[in-house]
Chain A
């Protein structure tokens, strides 16, 4: 059929028949098969496709019904597109590892920058935790991570930079090693690094039943927009205070990671 055979011991050559359906081509590339259906994907993550596939912004009139049922954060709609048609489409994200996950009548919360694409049978909602998105329902989604993803069972404390997401456990909270961090000496240690700071004094803690997803580096992927929340009191990230604001404490310079309080407060001033 074709005169261009696979080049010897070279890489495998794919065509629409040999590309996998809804599976990874290699660690960094995922192939989605569309048969008249639709997929939501983040803008600019499609690298190639066979067949006839149309990409439409979420604001497209014909997609109104679909968006109403499976897309619940209208304010960052401009980052998402809907792919529809039939054919096979390759997704990739800056040569990061990509993997697909199946949700069966479940829920999963994931860092916004890591989510690449999902089936419309899932509903995408903003998480109450700023910077995260929650998927609810049954279906498949594709997420990228810096290095392979490992799955852990709670109870577990994880490094903030390694956290990709969590499923079914509704208890993400901060954990500080207070014994090490409090007092004037602890404050000096944390601020100057003198006397030994491990850099691991602050963690996220998960308890209860569920799964926690971690990436195998502490290099975060670029933040993805999650949209803004209504400016109501009581809404995290949306209240009267600025982003990351915690009332009267958050004034002046941004906090260093792991820093518990200012020196003045430690001295009782």
Chain B
């Protein structure tokens, strides 16, 4: 059972079950816990090779036991996501912890990843359960509906879930080349039905200055 203690610490109450968490993110625990490093994200040999190839490396540990375990990551804000059979797409670096019952994997994202400087692949989390993602500043959760597509700056994108199509839109014109661009040369457009997590801060992206 995941719960937030403050906005920067995740407390997980466990009764013999397990969670997967980012390696080294445990800050405290009480009760009996065992920590086991899972090589290659705990997805077996195939997952390990895929992660190595796609650059979505994830060092994950499995925490199992009875009691409460607290997790935190560089004082980043933590957001809880509950999944009911749908799929969460998140960068490996932003994933803090998942229920052991959730499946993780990698998927191709195309140009969006490239524009964020995160590479062409992203991590997926699937199944029923809870996940915790970290962001720089508390994430704003924005709904995408059929009537209202959402456009997001690649540097502020954290994660999304649901049945959402994403496309890459570019505002590069001859003005950008003259240094008179609109400052938002690359954007990701989300359409469909789902939720998008946006952080109030922009990572440095290649398009950041255009």
Residues of chain A having any CB pair with chain B under 8 Å? 1-4, 7-16, 25-29, 42-51, 53-60, 78, 81, 90, 92-95, 98
Contact = CB atoms under 8 A, between A and B. Distances in A.
A44 B183 contact: yes
Contacts of A45: 202
A4 B140 contact: no
B67 interface: no
Contacts of A95: 136-137, 199-201
Contact of B142 (A8, A14, A27): A14
Contacts of A51: 148
Contacts, number: 139
Given A46-B153, A47-B153, A56-B182, A7 B81 contact: yes
Interface in B141-190: 141-143, 145, 148-153, 155-156, 161-162, 171, 175, 178-184
B145 A15 contact: yes
B208 A44 contact: yes
Interface residues of B, number: 44
Contacts of B151: 48-50, 53
A4 B145 CA distance: 10
B198 A55 contact: no
B181 to A, nearest CB: 5
A46 B145 CA distance: 21
Contacts of A25: 140
A36 B183 CA distance: 20
Given A7-B80, A55-B182, A60-B180, A90 B137 contact: no
B182 A7 contact: no
Given A14-B140, A90-B142, 14 more contacts: A11-B138, A13-B195, A15-B145, A25-B140, A28-B138, A29-B140, A43-B209, A48-B156, A50-B150, A51-B148, A54-B182, A55-B184, A57-B183, A90-B198
